[in-house]
Amino acid sequence: MSEISSLLTGFQTAFSFYHLALMVGGVLLGILVGVLPGLGAANGVTLLLPLTFSMPPVSAIILLSSMYWGALFGGSTTSILFNIPGEPSSVATTFDGYPMARHGDAAQALATAFLSAGFGALAGIIVVTLIANSVARFALQFSPAEYFAVYFLTFCSYVGMSGGNPLKTIAPLLIGLILAGVGMDTVSGELRLTCGFDSLGSGVSFLAAVIGLYGIGELLVSVEEGLKFEGLQAKMSWRVVWQTIIGMPKYAGALLRSTAIGCWMGITPGGPTAASFMSYGIAKRFSRNAENFGKGEPEGVVAPEAADHSAGVSALLPMLALGVPGSATAAVMMGGLMIWGLQPGPMLFIEQHDFVWGLIASMYMANVVAVILVMATIPMFSAILRAPFSLIAPIIIVICLVGAYTISGKMFDVYLAMGFGVVGYVFKKLDYPIAPLILAMVLGDKTEDAFRQSMLLSDGSLSVFFRNGLVSSIMLVALLLLGWGILAKLIRRLRPS
């Protein structure tokens, strides 16, 4: 099978002492940003990105992706020990993880979370390995119209799957698309929507947006809530880990189902947060211990964790094969790829074979490294949260500002990050989702290019998006998802309470 030989080549690329050191460093940094409120995976990867510009792309992506895996594990830890989700996708883990810890089963809750997460991640990587080449080969048939349809589908799936107010998802999407268009027009070379600011000539940096929206905005919300860390102690022992491993088959059903949901939600851009909530809800509905959910039921930890990690891992597949990131962090990584001069999409599999398979192979290794490291270092990382928040919060803010500056060495990006921070605070409080804004900022240029090329091919007729079975079916699914998002909201409104 070509996948296996490609994977073996990937292991040859990824397996070196330098790369292993990068994995360890990336995972540890990831756990740190996952543990600290206000610094999530997307923000952590953004802050690290400028430091990777001088690295070879394979090493850089190994470092960034390892940080992503570490952050996913770190986010779960604070959910269980502190009842504070380090990542939005870890919120569902608090429902049963924290009650377990309060009952004195913190170590078991952590071990259950890490093992489920590790299983979900490995299953996700296997799915990526098995179907990556096929997806890329399939995508080679795409013309600009199909590409536009896929981008449109991505945006619509956010509206359809968000579960919240669809208008509040559409608004950030449109804002992101508009912001992506600011600066020099790639076709005519004209400056657009710069309001006379020279600094906007090169566009609005999506990295500054991520730092502001996820970093500063989140932190303002945390400060407002008067965050006090009232953590529970946890000392991991290998005996507890072993007992948890033996007990895992009891939850095989929830584990497999949640992993499948996670893979699906990662590949279609539902994202890890939606996947973890959906898995938790379904696990509760089908569990024999449904009445224990919310009171410390291990199955309530297994389901969101497996889904969260399998979605996080699978989200890299559409990013690599189609150039469509499945999560906000994947969107940041895709931005990194473009900065390194790589074009995500099916041609990447042909032109940068070693890069793609090096990354996929590193995902196997980095996730194993992550499970071991997270078990070994959790007491140390949870000790960080015992430092006063009055010290942690300003340090995080300074790191965010430094991160914004290092994007291109311009103070303007610092101002942008600050502005986005205030917007992020308001958006978060009013339930406007942030991920669609980031996704639209990253995909905006590509979407516009695909749209313009398609329209040029059809002399301005929108029928180009329905000219064959493939593009019509993608557009149809997209429109159905868009319609479903709006319809579901109406039905909920009309249903008598």
Summarize as ranges the residues that interact with other proteins (CB under 8 A): 50-51, 54, 165, 167-168, 170-171, 174-175, 177-178, 181, 185, 187-188, 190, 192-193, 195, 216, 219-220, 223-226, 388, 390-391, 393-395, 397-398, 401-402, 405-406, 409, 411, 414-415, 418, 422, 425-427, 429-430, 432, 448, 451-453, 455-456, 460
Neighbours of 228 (CB within 10 A): 10
219 vs 385, beta carbon nearer other proteins = 219
What values do phi and psi take at 191, rounded to 5?
Answer: -85, 135
133 vs 162, beta carbon nearer other proteins = 162
CB of 99 vs other proteins, minimal distance in Å: 26
Buried b (16+ CB within 10 A) or exposed e, 379-400: eebbeebeeebeebbeebbebb
CB of 63 vs other proteins, minimal distance in Å: 12
What values do phi and psi take at 79, rounded to 5?
Answer: -60, -40
- Cα–Cα distance between 154 and 315 in angstroms, integer? 12
- By C-alpha distance, which of 133, 140, 121, 135 is closest to 371? 121
224 vs 291, beta carbon nearer other proteins = 224
CB of 485 vs other proteins, minimal distance in Å: 13
219 vs 328, beta carbon nearer other proteins = 219
CB of 460 vs other proteins, minimal distance in Å: 6
149 vs 393, beta carbon nearer other proteins = 393
Secondary structure (3-state) at 191: strand
Spatial contact of 262 and 311, defined as CB atoms under 8 Å apart: yes
* Contact partners, residue 61, CB within 8 Å, separation at least 6: 333, 336, 337, 355, 358, 359, 362
| Site of tokens 């006090």 | 228
CB of 486 vs other proteins, minimal distance in Å: 11
CB of 400 vs other proteins, minimal distance in Å: 9
CB of 191 vs other proteins, minimal distance in Å: 9
Secondary structure (3-state) at 192: strand
Secondary structure (3-state) at 351: helix
105 vs 413, beta carbon nearer other proteins = 413
* Contact partners, residue 453, CB within 8 Å, separation at least 6: 144
236 vs 441, beta carbon nearer other proteins = 441
Neighbours of 479 (CB within 10 A): 14
346 vs 444, beta carbon nearer other proteins = 444
Q: What sections of 236-297 are H helices per DSSP?
A: 238-247, 252-267, 271-286
354 vs 445, beta carbon nearer other proteins = 445
- Cα–Cα distance between 179 and 441 in angstroms, integer? 6
CB of 251 vs other proteins, minimal distance in Å: 37
- By C-alpha distance, which of 278, 217, 260, 305 is closest to 37? 217
CB of 366 vs other proteins, minimal distance in Å: 21
E strands, 99-188, where? 183-184
Sign of CA dihedral 215, 217, 218, 219: positive
CB of 164 vs other proteins, minimal distance in Å: 12
Q: For residue 184, list its beta bridge partners.
A: 191
119 vs 229, beta carbon nearer other proteins = 229
